[in-house]
Amino acid sequence: MKPRVFFAFVAPSLALMILFIAVPLVAVFVQSFQITQQVYKQVTVETCTPGFVTQNCVQETKSQAVLDENGKPLVETRFVGFANYLELLKPNAVMKAFAPGGGGFAALLNIDFYKALRFTLTFTFVTLPLVLGLGLLVALAVENTLRSLRGPLIFVTLLPFIITPVIGALSIRWLFVGDGIMTAALQHLLGHKVSVFSNGWAIEALMIFYRVWSVTPFAFVIFYAGLQTVDNDTMESAIIDGATRLERLRYVIIPHLMPLIVFVALIHLMDSYRVFEEVIGFSSQSYRISLQWLTYDFLIPDNTGNRSIPRASASSMLTMIGIVILLVPLLRRAWRDHKRSC
């Protein structure tokens, strides 16, 4: 293909990526080093009240918003360096937490950023092996079942992936919150009142369960498609040589599916590190928050109508840095496999 023709095909997608990805990313990066505030001025106001002979006058100094020529509050943006990042990371509070008598990790997790980071990392690394393992297990089960049953099985397996994430999270929550069906069943079995949503660990377990349940079908589809390309001659040779099912899985199937396993892991890491729907769906803000939710919380207007856009920008950049750090090992492996196959 000629370079001119190639550029003609790529140019529209490239322009949209620059417009909707690169430009906002650069804007967020710049905003993370700035702070935007309303401009106030100090004014002296004299208040007088009637007196017996003379008026009683009191002077006090107040802060008054400066208005522009259109009567709107005037704002200014200034460069503050890493102040927004330090406000998030709170290094002084971290040092105090690990000082003698500071409380250690318990005190560290009282800081919003580290509380969100702990849950985000736990959520990511617990769901990843479960999604990969269950997806492969379901794919192998469907591959080895009767052909007449594969269609209905695939349809049933894909149902969780079709449900909108927030709706699915709400559905699981309604089973356990208050007098939900599952709560009533647990109370009947245990013989005493159960309040699932008063325990942070229980909410976290439900959120992890929901993510595994909803994402496993994606891994299943990828692995099932990969199983269709396994070399039959290699598999038959392994059977003739007396390899057991586990040995065939370990030495034939998994090496063949390894590029797909890396692909699913990449997608899942990027998606789970940005966990947000579960926090909203399960209303876990009092117990468990994620880095993505923390960014969202900064963008909610406070009582004065102001939003902490600079801190939200810093939180977004730290989240992106975390995703890159998680993806580097998998990307290096994918690159080595690519060079080895060339």
In this prediction, residue 304 has a pLDDT band, given cuts at 50, 70 and 90, of low
**What pLDDT is recorded for position 223?**
94
Residue 70 lies in a domain: no
Closest CA to 160 of 216, 208, 209: 216
Pairing mode of beta strands 75-79, 56-65? unpaired
Residue 106 lies in a domain: no
State pTM to two decimals. 0.84
Write out the DSSP string of 140-200. HHHHTS-HHHHHHHHHHHHHHHHS-HHHHHHHHHHHHSTT-HHHHHHHHHHSS---GGG-H
Segment 246-265 shows an average pLDDT of: 91
Total structural domains within the chain: 1
Residue 242 lies in a domain: yes
pLDDT in tens, 58-94: 777 777 777 777 777 777 788 989 999 999 999 999 9
pLDDT in tens, 165-178: 888 888 888 888 87
Closest CA to 132 of 282, 314, 5, 258: 258
In this prediction, residue 260 has a pLDDT band, given cuts at 50, 70 and 90, of very high
Residue 11 lies in a domain: no
CATH code of the domain containing 316: 1.10.3720.10
Residue 69 lies in a domain: no
Residue 266 lies in a domain: yes
- What burial class does residue 36 get, using C-beta atoms within 10 Å of its C-beta: 0-12 exposed, 13-18 middle, 19+ buried? middle
pLDDT at 290 over 90: yes
- Give the Cα separation of 248 and 142 in Å (integer): 17
Residue 323 lies in a domain: yes
Domain hosting residue 201, numbered range: 112-341
